[in-house]
Structures are given as C-alpha cells and as structure tokens.
Structure 1
C-alpha cells in the first residue's frame, strides 16, 4: 500500500509545487490567514473530503475514514507567514508588501494537502482514520495549536506526526531526535525608568541607557554562571530602544528579548534570575525597572517509541537520502502542545537549496523536492502505524 501512496505523490509533485508557489505569492501573517484558510477549505471541498473550518480560530481540520477499522493518526502542517519583506528574485516572490513565507509553511501546507489527496484516493483500501490538522498562527504566541486542541482537533487521535522543512540541512534527509527537539520560547520586555536631563549635567540624572546597558551585561553572566554547563539555555536581547536628542540623558529605555530552554527547571531558573538581576540593578541605581516575562511555547519533547518508529519507517522511504539522529534546535514550535496531549514525534526534513539562507531571512527559500520526501515520510508513518 505504501508503494501506491508513493506513486500517487510522485504524480502530484508538479501540483504540489504549483500550490506551494501560489501560497508563497499570497502570504498572510499569524491570526490573519483568512484567505489561506479558505484556499485549504476549497481544496478539500473539491476533493469531497469532510472538514471543519474556524477550528480554534482560522484552523482547518480534515478527516478521512479508511475502509477498514484501525487507529486514528493525525498529521499537522502550519500555514501562517511572517512580517518580512521578500527579497528573493524568483517568479513566485510574495505579492504582499512586508509579508512573506520565510519559514516554509507554504511548503508544509502543500505537502499535507497533496498527501491528503493521495490518502483520499486510497481510502477504501486503508485501515483507520486520518486527521489532517492545518494550523494557523504558529509563528506568534500564544499560537494556534493550543486553541485548536481546545476546539477538539485531537479528539480520538491515537498518535500525531509532524515535520518542518529545514533550509540549512542536506536536502531529502530525515533528521530526528528522541526527547527534546526544539526549545521552550519565552519573551521578556523590560522598561528602565530613570531620570532624564541635560547631557551637560549627568550628576542630576539617572541615565536609563547606562542602567539598561548594565542589565544587558549582567544578563550575559546568567547562562555562563548560573546554568549547569550540562544544560542548555539562551538569553538574547534583540531590541534596545531609547530615542533622544544627542544632548539629552535618557529618561527611560526599553529592552526586548527571548529566553530559550529545554528543561522546566532551567526555564524557572532563568525567569527568577532575570527578575533578581533587574531588582538588584534597580536597587543599585535607585531607579525603577519593570520586567514582563511572558512564557511562550513549551519545549517540543518527542516520545521515544514514536520517534524510533518514525526513524525505522523513514529508512524505507524512496527518495530519502539518509535518516540521521540530529541535535536539538533552540527555535520554538507550538507542536509542543500536541505532544503534551498524545504520543507522537516531530522531525526535520532537509530542504537546503543551492543558495541557502536561514529561516526568517528575507531571502529564505527551500529545495521543493523536499516536499515529496516529507509527504512520503508522513504518509508512510500514517499507514504503517495501523500495523502497530
């Protein structure tokens, strides 16, 4: 049966590319993906496949019943884009100013749609039920996964599989990790309230820029001196804003950044230490520092049994060059919420193009042949799982 599926997917590759490029030209940012959601619904409507729309927001969930009893397998793809200007010189460049698919979600969507089409064609010969979760808003916390779960997208599901096309990994390789594969992603926003004044009279002020700079410097010791070297953590300040004339000492400054961890204990430590350092810096400078620490997605933690199963299945998939145990990534993913509810695994499909740029880069693109490897691997996992 897997061979029939592979053949159907091979036959649909040109359409898979066409849909991906259409979606790439018409991106929509998180929580605003109404046209993309309608495109997905229209695809299933034309196939005659049962689906639910507006699941937890803009989410779409399609369901295909096999001709024989069996397990219920869920497969997930995200479909939101990013607020980035597309700088690629390609025919399918984004037509929406300031918005582009800079992370491969257009490819994820086309992959899952054409896999669903192939499974639909084979449904009478298949055992079990297949749930296709098209998720909105992966890029921006609180994300779409948690609301879709609350709206029942995992009801009755026995296992879930998902993949991410990865532009910095060898094309058509499958890369897996048992246990944590992607990090918890938290956000920090800090306001330093000093006392501004004339640049010629610093002794009459509390310089918010100097104080905020002390914070940034002190934070650098948090990972190196407070976190066990065996553990992993990242603290990055991505924004430092205090806009004044050249001869004014800043009254206030704002910092924004991110914290990435795998362990819940290290996550708690990072949050408490950031507050402690801020409080100490405020006391030392006799000023006010406010910290807003917002917890984003938890770490993506793959289940051992399902990861080993996926690894073994992927080794038999035609077109997959190599199946590799890789290392965890510090990027975040709200696929984490699905794995907190049901067994499953999330893996990377290598999709490095000739001129590779990292995810979230304005020139991001990927090797489209990787969609075929992703579809075949997800499909093989779904069909083979019925024999477990």
Structure 2
C-alpha cells in the first residue's frame, strides 16, 4: 500500500471500504442465497444517488452510472457469494454464520467496487459514456451467476468488462496480470462403481467395489501422463472416494468424485471420453460396472490481448513497473469467462498476502485472510482503468 492516499481516493473512502468489507465478512451467504448481501449492497448504492439500480436476478445487483457526455460502456464486476467452510481465521470480524465463510475474498471484491461506485458517481458530470457496476451472485457454484446475468441482458451494449481478484498468495502491493489464457475450465465428474456386496471374510463371493475403485483411481492418472499431449495443460484430480459403512461388510457401491482442468475444448472432451473408457474397462474386467456423470463447468478465462495491454500500461503508470508482474495461467476456475464470451474482457489479481501478518493461506482455506491494505490498490486500479478507457475513447 502506498504511504499516502493517492488522488482521487480519500482516507474516508478507504476506511468506509474496510468497514463494508468487515460487515460482509461477518455475514457471508452461499451461492444463490445472497439475499441479505444483495439487499445490503443495493441500499448502499442507493445512498450514493445518480445510479440506476436493478436486480437482474433475486440475489444480484447492477448499478448503471450514465455520464453527462456520450461515449463507450465499461462493465466492472465483483462477486458476492461465500463458501461452505467453517472459519478458523484469528480475526475479530470472523463469520457469524456457522459453516459459511468468505474464504475467497469476495467480501473484499464487493467493498472495492462499492467504493469505486461511490467515488465515480460523484463525478458523473465528467464521465463520457457509461460505467456498469455488476455485483454478481454465485461465482462459486456452477453453472454460475455470470451466465445468468449475461442471459438477463446485463452485458448488452457493453464495450469492455474488467474484473479483479484479491490474491492471498501474491504479496500486497503487487498486481498480477496474464495475457490470453489465465484460468482453466473446472469440470467435475462422479463415477458410481456398482458391484456385489458381501461378507468381508468371503471376498470371493462379492464383487469388491473398493478394490476395483482403487484401481480406477490409479489408472485415471494415465490420462495426463500417457493419454494427453504433454504440451497441453491438463489436470485430472480425484478428491473423494466414498464406500462402505462397516469394517466387515464389502459394499455394493462406491462413489469416486474428481475434477478435470484444461484450457481446450478438445482436451476436456477427450478427458471425459478417457475417464469413461478407463473406469468402465477396469470395472468390466472385474465383473463390475460404472455410471459416469460428467459436468462441464465454466469456460476458461482468456484475457483479451489488446485490452490487457492497455490495462497493463495503466497499472504500470499508476503503481510502477516493479509492482506489475506477469503471472502464468492458473488451473483454478472463474465464471468471469461468461462475460468474456460476449465482450472483450480482462481479469487480473490484486496482491493481498502478507507473510509478516500471517496472511499466507490459500483461497478456500479455513484460515484464509487478506491484508486490507489491498483494498486501496483494488479501488485505485479500477478507477484509473475506468478513467483511461472512457476518456481515451472520447469522440
């Protein structure tokens, strides 16, 4: 964080953003359940004046700031949902909703965009064009809220869309950008292995789904190591194996759950075929059968080259060359990609980690935290990008 508050930010605005973020952190809500969160956001936006506020879905909020002069339209996006995680972070403003936590920084994203909306709405007379503030629900749960908002027409007439993500593993003060491919498509699958149960003392009278399932898990590792082009980015991970309820009963079913991460439609489709072929073949060889449920998640996040180049120049001018770092693609997923399917878009990271403060845990961890000093950088980045894009394209 900078030693002084840079214009046009103020100390009051930063303190307000921190207060909003802490309130949201205390009151997290899960995907598609963000009723109080969206009401809270809408109420704050209404207090600014000069915004056209709508509710495209029951738990999302969109605010339009239409300038006094004609111009382009820029959409800025924040996600607002939390995760089903019991918080363990040692902070005073911990979650008050048992089993629910803002473990991915969405509370910070929301507070940041509220601060940007407050600052820019006060400068409406200087604005050329329109800024659309999108407070999106359900980023964490496929099919995701972004797809619903696109279907509701939220992106109609938009020229660019820009999003930020607070990153706990990137030091505060740094900003991470990526050209082209940034985040993968997160597909999920469930394999139901069906055999024949029996007494654990007589395994020859059963078709052991645990032994068969273990071989399926082992053989699925061949998809990446032996069935995929080594130059392609591909992850196949098993995250759950459930079977049985007793030490002396061989169950008749086992459930295997996992995820596939990739950047290519062809690769993800081939991975699905290989999972079905390998799992079905192993099961058949041992007298069992499988049922595969493969669910396609979000599309990959692919940043627009031209827009990213422009944004990098703005960020370097604002924060300095050393503060802006190029990051490799991540195998995590984000439904920001739904917006990029219809308009040019760029997604980038705001460093929010701090080893000295113990802020070192990754996203989706029960001890996840952010350095609140990152909020200032996020606000300033959005403001400077908006100023540049909408002034640069003036008629």
Distance 1:99 1:32 in 2: 12
Contact kept in structure 2, 1:80 and 1:137, CA below 8 Å: yes
In 1, the alpha carbon distance for the partners of 2:7 and 2:65 equals 18
Q: Would you say 1:254 and 2:255 are equivalent positions?
A: yes
Task: Report how far residue 243 of structure 1 moved.
Answer: 2.4
1:369 aligns with 2:370: no
Q: Which residue of 2 aligns with 1:357?
A: 361
List, as ranges, runs of 4+ consecutive aligned residues in structure 1 with deviation greater than 4 Å: 318-321
* Alpha-carbon shift at residue 57 of structure 1 (Å): 3.7
Q: What is the aligned partner in structure 1 of residue 115 from structure 2? A: 114
Instruction: Confirm or deny: 8 A CA contact 1:9 1:115 kept in the other structure.
Output: no
Cα deviations by residue, 1:180-202 (Å, 9 ceiling, x for unpaired): 10000011011101001011111
Paired position in structure 2 for 1:56: 57
Q: 1:149 to 1:56 in 2, by over 3 A?
A: farther
The range that moved more, 100-109 or 366-375, is 366-375
Residues 122 and 5 of structure 1: is their aligned pair in 2 closer, same or farther, counting only changes over 3 Å?
Answer: farther
Partner of 2:344: 343
User: Following TM superposition, by how much is the alpha carbon of 1:244 offset from its aligned partner in structure 2, in angstroms?
Assistant: 2.4
1:181 is the counterpart of 2:168 = no
Counterpart CA distance in 2 for 1:16 and 1:246 is: 54
- 1:105-133 deviation per Cα after TM superposition (whole angstroms, max 9, x unaligned): 00000000000100001111121110000
Instruction: Please give the alpha-carbon distance, in whole angstroms, between the structure 2 residues aligned to 1:281 and 1:385.
Output: 56
Aligned to 1:44: 45
Q: Does residue 1:26 correspond to 2:30, yes or no?
A: no
When normalised by structure 2's length, the TM-score is 0.95
The corresponding residue for 1:164 is 165
Matched, 1:223 2:224: yes
Task: Provide the alpha-carbon RMSD of the alignment.
Answer: 1.5
Q: Deviations over 1:255-279 (max 9, x none)?
A: 1111111111111111111111122
Report how far residue 228 of structure 1 moved. 1.2
In structure 1, C-alpha distance between the alignment counterparts of 2:142 and 2:52, rounded to whole Å: 25
Q: Is the 8 A contact 2:220 2:279 kept in 1?
A: no
Partner of 1:74: 75
Partners of 2:367 and 2:283 in 1: how far apart? 41
Residue number in structure 2 paired with 1:379 = 383
- 1:172: how far off? 2.0
Aligned to 1:151: 152
Deviation at 1:319, TM superposition (A): 8.0
For structure 1, list consecutive stretches of 5 or more residues without a partner in the other structure: none
Number of equivalent positions: 385
Distance in 2, matches of 1:229 and 1:372, equals 41
Confirm or deny: 8 A CA contact 2:9 2:380 kept in the other structure: no
Match of 2:139 in 1: 138
Any unmatched runs of 5+ in structure 2? none
Work out the CA distance in 1 between the residues paired with 2:263 and 2:6.
Answer: 36
Q: Which residue of 1 aligns with 2:273?
A: 272
SS at match of 2:332: coil
Describe the superposition over 1:253-302 as per-residue Cα deviations: whole angstroms up to 9, x where unpaired.
01111111111111111111111112211221121200000001010011
